[in-house]
A and B are shown apart, each in its own frame.
Chain A
């Protein structure tokens, strides 16, 4: 399996939407073929349209607030004693996470196609919060599907969605987490696709949603490349990009601009959620060798039993708690462009403690998974190695969990 150079990865799927001949595609009910085709035609036209790009960039700059900071973590670097540790603080973006890029683009598309309502799924609540913000900004009605378990554990984001006027629809089926929210959102779309636009909250779902999301979050690496050249005069010779991977939207966006670099120069490390150390359940299909299956319209590595029933996952981080993974990452893994590993709940919490102890930075539980692996590995790297972690979410939403697991101190002191 090979990645072509000079062609955006989102455009490397075949006629039926398969990357590497086997990941992605459109495993959807007949009813959705037409709205998906409409969206494909619209997006293929607009992604090269100068006016549309200008419009996107205007909102990205003035409303989302680009670029997000690129900072050196001096104290952490000293504490770890190996590579230089930097962070791309994507949580600076309006709303507090990368989910805003995809939400904004989907609302721009919906607006242009004359849709009045937009629906979306959410796990950590960021995708939902951002969609509710963008919907409000562009005058669309908004419905968010969210697992009942996630509604309980991510209250700050639920409150934000409601404040923005979105309907938050609790999903009680299955494990009551992200996987069920995405299913329920797709069901709603099947029944309302004539009037309603759908936004999938990550680089998952039918191929067009994978592409739109990857295209949107790629803003992160476009900025980073400029910032690196500003800082170092070039893209560093030994660069390592660490990112947590749930569905895979922030990691893909963090890496996209560096795709054609040799991996010896720019290495991609994706960190999945390993779940509680003592539990057999996890949300790390790439790390633990899950088989290829179909989930939410796309072929991908997915946690499942031998019959093909999707397995329940477990993670302290609602945003990573998903049994599947973007077809883009399956492609990057099998093409050996990116390396994937996992951090457990406990390791993520520990990393959160270390980062907040040494730095004025407060990564949510999702990027704390990436910090955990980056800190561990940085010890072994030379001083001229540049390690960057995408701090793609702010821990405010995790207050309840952090307080329960670590005590009040870790919530208040930051």
Chain B
């Protein structure tokens, strides 16, 4: 039987479009609101990445930092984040959920405890920004044993040799970082070049679902229609900030944005 993540990719493929993956920070701007956002955007997105906010995020640009600091300031704790996931997974529009976070949060919870909670909450996958290969070998195996997809990251600096080893050790899904950038950077590489690298990965590892993230926005997304999946994060976080600043409802605005993103790749 295919797992939820692979099923989501298959469904998108059947509809001849890339899967749409969104990234929002758990607890931004409050526990309740971030759950509402997940419930709304799951009408349009195929897989939901949920950020575990961390206050020393070395790979995140301004927008995601702002969302993370806001969530932490509003008191979000690891256990609240698990609760958000399990509540969402019980909702009628539930979609696969992937955590994206920094290793210290997992380390403090204890790897085994953390995975137990992930499983109990119904989490499907995990991206750990600062636990690269081969450092992640033991932990990614643990994830596999718990039926949680450990998603390996690849970047333009990844050598061919590394690429082969990493894809070999990866589970069903891999994540290609489009350019040298933190999250939230402007797309500074041509889509053509990004697709060359993407195709190289697909050639080495044709069966794995490969998504592209970083620099994907309403403006750029339609350049990447022939891919397995696309991740939009910073633009959504920015929309939450903008809505709050203008005293508008982020749930409505973000949902509108994700619906537009979906239309652009359908």
Identify the A interface with B (CB < 8 A): 16, 25-35, 173-174, 179, 183, 186-187, 190-194, 291-297, 304, 306-310
Residues A190 and B135 in contact, CB atoms below 8 Å apart: no
- Among A28, A31, A191, A291: residue with most chain B CB under 10 A: A31
Which residues on the A side are within 8 Å of B102 (C-beta)? 294, 308
**A395, chain B: closest CB distance, angstroms:** 30
CA–CA, A34 and B177, complex, Å: 14
The residues in B between 45 and 98 inclusive whose CB is less than 8 angstroms from any CB of A are 54-61, 65, 69, 72, 77-78
Residues B182 and A310 in contact, CB atoms below 8 Å apart: no
Closest 3 CB pairs of A and B: A308-B108, A34-B157, A294-B104
Given known contacts A187-B58, A190-B58, A33 and B158 CB-to-CB distance under 8 angstroms: yes
Residues B157 and A194 in contact, CB atoms below 8 Å apart: yes
Residues A191 and B158 in contact, CB atoms below 8 Å apart: no
The residue in chain A whose Cβ has the minimal distance to the Cβ of B158 is A30
Given known contacts A183-B57, A193-B157, A307 and B78 CB-to-CB distance under 8 angstroms: yes
Residues A192 and B180 in contact, CB atoms below 8 Å apart: yes
Q: Is B105 an interface residue (CB 8 A)?
A: yes
Which residues on the B side are within 8 Å of A179 (C-beta)? 56
Q: Is B141 an interface residue (CB 8 A)?
A: no
CA–CA, A293 and B54, complex, Å: 13
Residues A295 and B104 in contact, CB atoms below 8 Å apart: yes
Residues A190 and B180 in contact, CB atoms below 8 Å apart: yes
CA–CA, A238 and B205, complex, Å: 63
**A327, chain B: closest CB distance, angstroms:** 14
Residues A31 and B56 in contact, CB atoms below 8 Å apart: no
The 8 Å CB contact of B180, one of A25, A33, A194, A296, is: A194
CA–CA, A16 and B136, complex, Å: 11
Which residues on the A side are within 8 Å of B181 (C-beta)? 190-191
Total B residues in contact with A, Cβ cutoff 8 Å: 40
CA–CA, A194 and B154, complex, Å: 16
Q: Is B172 an interface residue (CB 8 A)?
A: no
Among B1-9, B126-134, B222-230, B245-253, the stretch in contact with A:
B126-134
The 8 Å CB contact of A294, one of B72, B130, B134, B180, is: B130
Which residues on the A side are within 8 Å of B104 (C-beta)? 293-295, 304, 308, 310
Q: Is B216 an interface residue (CB 8 A)?
A: no
The 8 Å CB contact of B162, one of A33, A173, A297, is: A33
CA–CA, A25 and B180, complex, Å: 22
The residue in chain B whose Cβ has the minimal distance to the Cβ of A312 is B55
Residues A191 and B180 in contact, CB atoms below 8 Å apart: yes
Residues A308 and B157 in contact, CB atoms below 8 Å apart: no
The 8 Å CB contact of A16, one of B56, B135, B154, B157, is: B135
CA–CA, A193 and B54, complex, Å: 23
Given A30-B132, A190-B182, 14 additional A-B pairs, CB 8 A: A29-B58, A30-B158, A31-B156, A31-B157, A34-B158, A173-B69, A190-B59, A191-B181, A291-B108, A294-B103, A294-B107, A304-B104, A308-B104, A310-B55
- Among B78, B130, B133: residue with most chain A CB under 10 A: B130
The 8 Å CB contact of A191, one of B78, B130, B185, is: B185
Given known contacts A26-B132, A30-B155, A183 and B58 CB-to-CB distance under 8 angstroms: yes
Residues B108 and A29 in contact, CB atoms below 8 Å apart: no
Residues A28 and B69 in contact, CB atoms below 8 Å apart: no
Which residues on the A side are within 8 Å of B153 (C-beta)? 29-30
**A82, chain B: closest CB distance, angstroms:** 42
CA–CA, A310 and B156, complex, Å: 30
A-B residue pairs in contact (CB < 8 Å), sample of 6: A29-B130, A29-B177, A174-B56, A187-B60, A191-B180, A310-B56
**B261, chain A: closest CB distance, angstroms:** 24
Residues A27 and B59 in contact, CB atoms below 8 Å apart: no
The residue in chain B whose Cβ has the minimal distance to the Cβ of A33 is B132
- Encode B178-189 as 1/0 by CB contact (under 8 A) with A: 001110010000
The residue in chain B whose Cβ has the minimal distance to the Cβ of A311 is B55
Which residues on the B side are within 8 Å of A192 (C-beta)? 180
Q: Is B159 an interface residue (CB 8 A)?
A: yes
CA–CA, A293 and B109, complex, Å: 11
Residues A193 and B58 in contact, CB atoms below 8 Å apart: no
Which residues on the A side are within 8 Å of B162 (C-beta)? 33
Given known contacts A34-B157, A183-B56, A191-B185, A27 and B180 CB-to-CB distance under 8 angstroms: no
The 8 Å CB contact of B132, one of A29, A183, A193, is: A29
The residue in chain A whose Cβ has the minimal distance to the Cβ of B154 is A30
Which residues on the B side are within 8 Å of A291 (C-beta)? 108
The residues in B between 158 and 179 inclusive whose CB is less than 8 angstroms from any CB of A are 158-159, 162, 177
The residue in chain B whose Cβ has the minimal distance to the Cβ of A292 is B107
The 8 Å CB contact of B130, one of A28, A35, A193, A308, is: A28
Residues A293 and B69 in contact, CB atoms below 8 Å apart: no
Given known contacts A190-B182, A194-B180, A293 and B108 CB-to-CB distance under 8 angstroms: yes
Residues B65 and A173 in contact, CB atoms below 8 Å apart: yes
**B152, chain A: closest CB distance, angstroms:** 8
**B206, chain A: closest CB distance, angstroms:** 21
Which residues on the B side are within 8 Å of A295 (C-beta)? 56, 104
Which residues on the A side are within 8 Å of B135 (C-beta)? 16, 25-27
**B13, chain A: closest CB distance, angstroms:** 26
Which residues on the A side are within 8 Å of B157 (C-beta)? 30-35, 193-194
Which residues on the A side are within 8 Å of B54 (C-beta)? 308-309
**A148, chain B: closest CB distance, angstroms:** 15
- Among B58, B72, B102, B135: residue with most chain A CB under 10 A: B58
CA–CA, A26 and B159, complex, Å: 17
Residues B56 and A29 in contact, CB atoms below 8 Å apart: no
CA–CA, A228 and B60, complex, Å: 49
CA–CA, A335 and B73, complex, Å: 38
The residue in chain B whose Cβ has the minimal distance to the Cβ of A175 is B55
**A17, chain B: closest CB distance, angstroms:** 9
Which residues on the B side are within 8 Å of A28 (C-beta)? 58, 130, 132
CA–CA, A399 and B79, complex, Å: 47
The 8 Å CB contact of A309, one of B55, B107, B155, B159, is: B55
**B142, chain A: closest CB distance, angstroms:** 17
